[in-house]
Amino acid sequence: MSETLQDVLTYIDTLLPNSLTTATKVGLINAEQRKVWEHMTPDTMYEFTTVNGQRTYTLPTNVSIDMILENGVLIASSTEAVSDDTVFQPYSLAGYDEDMTGSKFYDAFGTLGLYPIPDNGYPARLLYQEYPTIFASSDTAVQFNIDQDYVDLIKFKVMARVAKSGRFPNVDLANNYEADATQLERKMKTRMANKRAKTPRTRWSYKSW
């Protein structure tokens, strides 16, 4: 189970007593998450059903086109109920100036566009990378949706910022926290790269996930 926002705030305040407001520290946590989210959040699947003649579809809340994985739109080859034998056709991202050939998905002014326009009732899947939980100060019981090692990374990053704040900044301590964060970030990026090399993102294109 991942830590909650309060767990992280308590950890920071215990190791590094400070006079910053909770709102300020939460803002620092959110800012650090935004910097490295592409390396630390899990992949997620959203399912929907195609509608005859409908070329655009509303994306899930807090999902944008750039969060969709490579070949991350999959449409079943039949309207039958999805089973382990269901074959899905992968759709690849089309750029703004790209000719529409084959099976493509594209950014239709913030919605998901599909080419060719699908028929009715085909099961479809959208594979995307989650965005990290962005906290409000009142979200103390809400958990992080990232790997525990990345929660530790966020702690180090924020404590480095806290150590450099105030009337008497401790630059040496801040540098130590930053070094710890850099080492952990390097480790996590290597682990994520190895994981994705062993499990290609296109593996869900042909069978149900």
Provide mean pLDDT across the span 173-179. 96
Average confidence score pLDDT of the chain: 88
Cα separation, 81 vs 63, in Å, equals 26
| DSSP assignment letter at 21 | -
Confidence band for 205, pLDDT divided at 50, 70 and 90: very low
Residue 129 forms beta bridges with which residues?
Answer: 43
Quick one: pLDDT at residue 40?
75
% residues pLDDT > 70 (the chain): 92
What are 132-153's pLDDT values in tens digits?
899 999 999 999 988 888 899 9
Q: Is the pLDDT of residue 35 over 80?
A: yes
Cα separation, 118 vs 42, in Å, equals 29
Distances (CA, A) of 38 to 2, 4, 128, 140: 18, 20, 11, 24
Quick one: pLDDT at residue 1?
55
> For residues 125 and 209, is the Cβ–Cβ distance under 8 A?
yes
Q: Is the pLDDT of residue 196 over 70?
A: no
Confidence band for 55, pLDDT divided at 50, 70 and 90: very high
